[in-house]
Amino acid sequence: MSDAKRPVGVALVGMGTVGTEVLRYMETNGDELAARIGAPLELRGIAVRDTSKDRGVDSSLLTDDPVSLTLREDVDVVVEVMGGIDIAKPLLIGALNAGKAVVTANKALLAEYTDELAEAADSTESDLYFEAAVAGAIPVLGPLRRSMAGDQVERVVGIVNGTTNFILSEMDSTGAAYSETLAEASRLGYAEADPTADVEGYDAAAKAAILASIAFHSRVTAKDVYREGISAITPAQFESARHMECTIKLLALCEKVRRSDGTEAVSARVYPALIPLGHPLASVDGAYNAVVVEAEAAGRLMFYGQGAGGAPTASAVLGDLVAAARNKVMGGRAPGESTYRALPVATIDDVVTRYHVSMSVHDRAGVLSQVAAEFSNHGVSIAQVRQTESEQGAELVVLTHRAAERDLAATVSALSEMDSVREIVSVIRLEGEDQ
């Protein structure tokens, strides 16, 4: 620790809400951070698109040349909070190849290119930290990688997107339709002008890929993640959820599955699902995030907190920055990406779960038995059936026992061709029961 006083040089790339908060904390808490690191942090520069814009910082720190900034001799740690892939990817790979530690919140980049980033990090034994990429302020990746390092993670189930959780919580409490609720979310600033990435589950899928990779020491990328969004969720589905003492949440699920051929694989998927009101995730409302980790020895753990926002995300970035800077001062390296298990990725067909199928049927004798027969023909066992009469005719609601997606899908397509079935109104999965 002779050189414990040598300052640690930091390059900040991007100065949006998160970057601004990171900067603010570096300034206001500089002494504390120095005490925790063993040396002071020194900001070498801030890369932004437009250096002419006044950002309330010493303008001599601003540059529109992130590459030169991050490769400076006196830069030890690169903090990337700019987002996007085209510029960030080569930038961070270059920084890692140059032996800089990298702290990033860039989930889109990580969900696709962690392999290339990790390879660059390994080539110089540099640190690559990205706690802020998943669930904002909530420490999830650190605990998975470090605290659970002696355990076997079996399943990770999370509410990792605040926009969709806000919308679904609202729909549940107000009974309003999806479109109105989305409009309200936009008014309140919970949804972006183009909400596609959130409401169609792309954001959650990127996070699921990152979580699955770390939880199972295997590589899962965003395109490996099965994905359904929430735009088709209806007030009627919330009503039947209530009948079953459930609510509906957009879940990111990562679990080890046994495929039909007996081999082990990783399943990563994002979809809206029924969960029992007694499940810890059921009461996670509004813009909050939560991640449940189930492990062989630890049992069920839950991590809960704010999943987005400038300050919460900055908290995660700063935690990583302190760790990376500390390693520069004290030596050592954070656990790198480990994919030694290299489990294959399961398709949605391999998933086994429970299903809630509601269909409108012609109100004639024997319909129920015909429908029931179709389920059993495909080896899907029925747990409950509810038959209701309405002006539109009869409706059948079937809740299955655990069944394979492939069998359920075959059942549903067969049902949709039956004369006595007017329409398959909705198919939604039930999760969190056996968890």
> Which residue's entry shows tokens 């009461």?
283
d(CA 280, CA 276): 9
Ligand-binding annotation for 286, yes or no, is: no
> Which residue's entry shows tokens 């007017």?
422
- For CA atoms 272, 274, 276, 277, the dihedral sign is positive
d(CA 70, CA 105): 16
- DSSP symbol at 282: G
Q: Which of 5, 53, 100, 207 is catalytic?
A: 207
Ligand-binding annotation for 18, yes or no, is: yes
Report the nearest approach of a second copy to the CB of residue 333 (Å).
Answer: 6
* Comparison of 240 and 315: residue with beta carbon closer to a second copy: 315
Ligand-binding annotation for 221, yes or no, is: no
Ligand-binding annotation for 13, yes or no, is: yes
* Comparison of 117 and 137: residue with beta carbon closer to a second copy: 137
State yes or no: is 207 an active-site residue: yes
Alpha helices in 48-188 (DSSP H): 66-70, 88-97, 107-123, 141-142, 162-174, 178-187
* Comparison of 302 and 427: residue with beta carbon closer to a second copy: 302
Report the nearest approach of a second copy to the CB of residue 27 (Å).
Answer: 13
d(CA 347, CA 405): 10
d(CA 91, CA 70): 8
Q: How far is CA 335 from the centre of its chain?
A: 21
* Comparison of 274 and 282: residue with beta carbon closer to a second copy: 282
Report the nearest approach of a second copy to the CB of residue 360 (Å).
Answer: 38
Q: Please answer whether residues 93 and 197 qualify as being in contact, where contact means their C-beta atoms are separated by less than 8 angstroms.
A: no
Report the nearest approach of a second copy to the CB of residue 82 (Å).
Answer: 19
Q: Which residues bind a second copy (CB under 8 A)?
A: 21, 25, 29, 32-33, 35-36, 131, 137-139, 142-143, 146-152, 217, 280, 283, 295-306, 311-312, 314-323, 326-327, 330-333, 335, 338, 340-341
Please give the structure tokens belonging to residue 14.
Answer: 């991007």
Ligand-binding annotation for 393, yes or no, is: no
d(CA 170, CA 247): 12
Q: How far is CA 428 from the centre of its chain?
A: 20
* Comparison of 269 and 326: residue with beta carbon closer to a second copy: 326
Report the nearest approach of a second copy to the CB of residue 123 (Å).
Answer: 13
Please give the structure tokens belonging to residue 295.
Answer: 């492990």
- Which residues, 6 or more positions from 54, have their beta carbon under 8 angstroms from its beta carbon? none
Report the nearest approach of a second copy to the CB of residue 414 (Å).
Answer: 43
* Comparison of 81 and 428: residue with beta carbon closer to a second copy: 81
What per-residue string of b and e applies to 332-357 under the rule 16 or more CB within 10 Å gives b?
Answer: eebeebebeeebebbbbebbbbbbbb
Q: Residues forming the annotated binding site for NADPH?
A: 107
**Annotated binding site for NADP(+): which residue ranges?**
13-20
Q: Binding site for L-homoserine, residues?
A: 192
By annotation, the residues acting in catalysis are 207
